[in-house]
Homo-oligomer: A and B are copies of this chain.
């Protein structure tokens, strides 16, 4: 076993555990596979919200209060854009905009999303490797009581108000996994794969919807540990609980665990919740999983790694 760990993450919630893992591991031991189903084109710019959340978290640039975007942000671009009659429903801070402009310029010159992301991480001194799940286009869409909506139209434009009845990951079934993603999951001696406490429908399942990525995860030699995004019958952040209700799924960590059956070796529920019922082939453990402070992030990361190591010991 080496010290390498692969994490699957969406945006804000997942990024917190990614940050904790980066604090608990040697600088180059962490690879993060990030959802790109939220990506979209806006104002002619290529926007990758989950990649940005992960990169900002790892670079120590996340805004601690707002929950998205950069700390110490200013908003003069948005004010001027509104004044020009431009679309202002999707808010972009002045410094955050540099990420979208630089990425868009490089993509339009033919660089891949993974190459652009690597370059940005290097510039920001991020030691972990941040990989988009795919360099191909995958787009999460939601069937709602207002019809099919693009992800950002639902999430930001309509603030998750429409009732969701179906979720589709357009392009996922034909998308190629980013090649380094597959190499990372297939690595001999990999210590753990961690599924971060991200929204299962909007952040984790788009990643799992890429067939070769799902297969690589199923065949990974390392223990796979998932952390619940549901605590006390609520989502820590975002619309996961609301969507579960609308889809007729009980809002409980056990429901999330059930969705990961066959993929996950250890499921981590919160210690404040009752012990979920057993699921075949999966250990279900509990710990303090809510991350309020930097110390919480690191402590949860260390617990998750300990659960992975224990699972390896038990099976091996």
Which residue of B43, B102, B108 contacts A102 across the interface (Cβ within 8 Å)? B43
A146 to chain B, nearest CB (A): 24
Interface string of A96-119 (1 = CB under 8 A from B): 111101101100100000000001
Which chain B positions have C-beta within 8 A of A105?
43-44, 86
State whether B80 touches A44 (Cβ < 8 A).
Answer: no
Interface string of A101-139 (1 = CB under 8 A from B): 110110010000000000110111000000000000000
A222 to chain B, nearest CB (A): 32
How many interface residues does A have (CB within 8 Å)?
33
Q: Is A94 an interface residue (CB 8 A)?
A: yes
A122 to chain B, nearest CB (A): 8
Which chain B positions have C-beta within 8 A of A89?
none
Which chain B positions have C-beta within 8 A of A86?
98, 101-102, 105
Asked whether A95 and B79 contact (CB < 8 A) given A43-B101, A85-B123, the answer is yes
State whether A83 touches B43 (Cβ < 8 A).
Answer: no
Which chain B positions have C-beta within 8 A of A81?
98, 101-102
**A77→B77 CA distance, assembly (Å):** 9
Q: Is A174 an interface residue (CB 8 A)?
A: no
Q: Is A4 an interface residue (CB 8 A)?
A: no
Interface string of A64-84 (1 = CB under 8 A from B): 000000100110111111011
Q: Is A45 an interface residue (CB 8 A)?
A: yes
A47 to chain B, nearest CB (A): 12
Which chain B positions have C-beta within 8 A of A98?
77-78, 80-81, 83-84, 86
State whether B95 touches A80 (Cβ < 8 A).
Answer: yes
State whether B123 touches A83 (Cβ < 8 A).
Answer: yes
Q: Which of A85, A96, A101 gathers most chain B CB within 10 Å?
A: A101
A25 to chain B, nearest CB (A): 25
Specify the chain B residue showing the minimal Cβ separation from A81. Answer: B98
In the assembled complex, 15 residue pairs joining A and B whose CB atoms fall closer than 8 Å, in A order, are A43-B104, A44-B105, A73-B76, A74-B76, A74-B94, A76-B76, A76-B95, A77-B94, A80-B98, A81-B98, A86-B98, A86-B101, A94-B97, A97-B97, A101-B101
Give the 4 A-B CB pairs with smallest separation, nearest first.
A80-B98, A80-B95, A85-B123, A76-B94
